[in-house]
Amino acid sequence: MRVAIAGGGLAGLACAKYLTDAGHTPILLESRDVLGGLVAAWKDEEGDWYETGLHVFFGAYPNMLQLFKELGIEDRLQWKQHTLIFNQPEKPGVLSRFDVPDIPAPLNILVSILRNNDMLTWEQKFRFALGLWPAIVRGQGYVEAMDKYSLLEWLQRQGVDERVNSDIFIAASKALTFINPEEVSATVPLTALNRFLQERYGSKIAFLDGSPTERLCQPLVDYITERGGEVHLNKPLKAIHLDAAGKVEGFEIRGLAGRPDEVITADAYVSAMPVDVLKVLLPEPWTSLDFFQRLSRLEGVPVINLHLWFDRKLTDVDHLLFSRSPLLSVYADMSNTCREYSDPDRSMLELVLAPAKDWIDRSDEEILAATMAELARLFPQHFGSEQPARLRKAKVVKTPRSVYTAAAGMQACRPTQTTPIPNFFLAGSYTLQEFLGSMEGAVLSGKLAAQAIAQQAEVGSPVTPSQPVVRL
């Protein structure tokens, strides 16, 4: 079967990869001149990479890790020590670590929490464990039902101390979803926590050894094209054409640089575009269907990714750090964590600014000034002294609509990969799958969409949304 896929992020690329595995021919159409979507990266005039986002991989990413294996590029993941590292706002410059011992889960996580006495008292830990108990014993069903509460509401209902929220969950919520605990659905951090509690190496973190565009997207492109698939840049979907029965009969692609528009036809069609774009391109007859109406509540969340190149080393920490600062979420010194960005003498900090709704429209200068003020608290030894570290150059990448806003009540709006339209499918980390709006979620969604298409081709009949999509 010939399958047209609009969108060349990880979801679209994974969908194309798994379609070629099933013997089909994907035609992938990406609107921009770069693949990867939210993992896209570019080189500046000096040859230094800058990225849409600071990305880390977790041990609890089975589909992503399987994909690396299938592409033969597992050695590109640089696994770090099994620990989570937090800054302490009340002790500037001092780090607090949750070192996870190499023993079976969930004992390893429990020991890491019990051994850390910087952030929580014994009573707070005990009440936290008690509050978490239903999520552990009642499993994912309970976790899904908690979507009606924000994380903060859920913590309050469980009688968990406010310190647990301010010490741990604000940082976790900002890192996972770019929003705060009073907004985020309780389901999202509880899902992540449950995975960490179930898998021995679930919370272990890896960095890619270079830019995602070259080191992850390119091997996917090679894999797809070597097996007869096509990958095209600069091919924005302009309109979805329907036949008399309301099925898709073609993807109209806008002609760029003076080229005429063209219509691409196929046996099946996939949107792997962000939900915000899909909503705008929905054909009018579909907008009355409940399945598509529910999309109206899904919306990408703003986030900002900063790159700061300094004239000296600020830290030798080779890991992700949770800043626990009001402005910033996570950050890393990429000159330590990433082989291709490495520099033995000078730091390159990559930092995520979230929540970013009050910052996304501000100038780069304002954003940089506020970030530097926070860095003075994170690295007092380098910025409080007479000879402060000098910022050599900086790059600010703003994404006004990134992953879907994972607010309370949104789980019910996330669509399945199959739709009421028999030859139209969805992929994207916002679609319903057991992971969050993450790289793992994107890859899994692409795989599920490919499976649904392959299943339909085999059976010869459409897979309706009420039928469960094959589980992996």
Binding site for ligand FAD (CB under 6 A): 6-12, 29-32, 37-39, 52-56, 236-237, 272-274, 277, 303, 305, 352, 399, 402-403, 428-429, 437-442
Indicate the residue among 158 and 323 with the shorter CB distance to ligand FAD: 323
Indicate the residue among 236 and 462 with the shorter CB distance to ligand FAD: 236
Residue 320's DSSP bridge partners are 332
- Sign, CA dihedral 358-273-235-38, equals positive
* Least Cβ distance, residue 428 to ligand FAD (angstroms): 4
Contact in structure between 246 and 254 (CB atoms under 8 Å): no
Contact in structure between 456 and 449 (CB atoms under 8 Å): no
* Least Cβ distance, residue 300 to ligand FAD (angstroms): 8
Q: Which residues contact 67 (CB under 8 A, 6 or more apart)?
A: 14, 17, 443
Indicate the residue among 109 and 436 with the shorter CB distance to ligand FAD: 436
Contact in structure between 258 and 251 (CB atoms under 8 Å): no
* Least Cβ distance, residue 274 to ligand FAD (angstroms): 4
* Least Cβ distance, residue 33 to ligand FAD (angstroms): 10
Q: Please count the residues of the chain.
A: 472
CA distance 315 to 310: 11
Indicate the residue among 302 and 462 with the shorter CB distance to ligand FAD: 302
* Residue with the two structure tokens 């940082």: 171
* Least Cβ distance, residue 393 to ligand FAD (angstroms): 20
The angle formed by the CA atoms of residues 171, 157 and 164, to the nearest 5 degrees, is 30
Give how far Cα 208 sits from Cα of 73, 176, 214, 340, Å.
10, 18, 10, 9
Indicate the residue among 27 and 314 with the shorter CB distance to ligand FAD: 27
Indicate the residue among 160 and 403 with the shorter CB distance to ligand FAD: 403
* Residue with the two structure tokens 């464990």: 129
Residue 351's DSSP bridge partners are 306, 331
Helix (H) or strand (E) holding 205: strand 205-208
* Residue with the two structure tokens 């896209």: 40
* Least Cβ distance, residue 6 to ligand FAD (angstroms): 4
The angle formed by the CA atoms of residues 214, 359 and 327, to the nearest 5 degrees, is 85
Instruction: Name which of 434, 444, 457 is nearest 17 in CA terms.
Output: 444
* Least Cβ distance, residue 168 to ligand FAD (angstroms): 18
Contact in structure between 83 and 91 (CB atoms under 8 Å): no
Indicate the residue among 149 and 424 with the shorter CB distance to ligand FAD: 424
Indicate the residue among 449 and 454 with the shorter CB distance to ligand FAD: 449
Instruction: Name which of 227, 169, 172 is nearest 17 in CA terms.
Output: 227
Indicate the residue among 120 and 175 with the shorter CB distance to ligand FAD: 175
* Least Cβ distance, residue 438 to ligand FAD (angstroms): 3
* Least Cβ distance, residue 179 to ligand FAD (angstroms): 13
Instruction: Name which of 465, 445, 451, 406 is nearest 191 in CA terms.
Output: 406
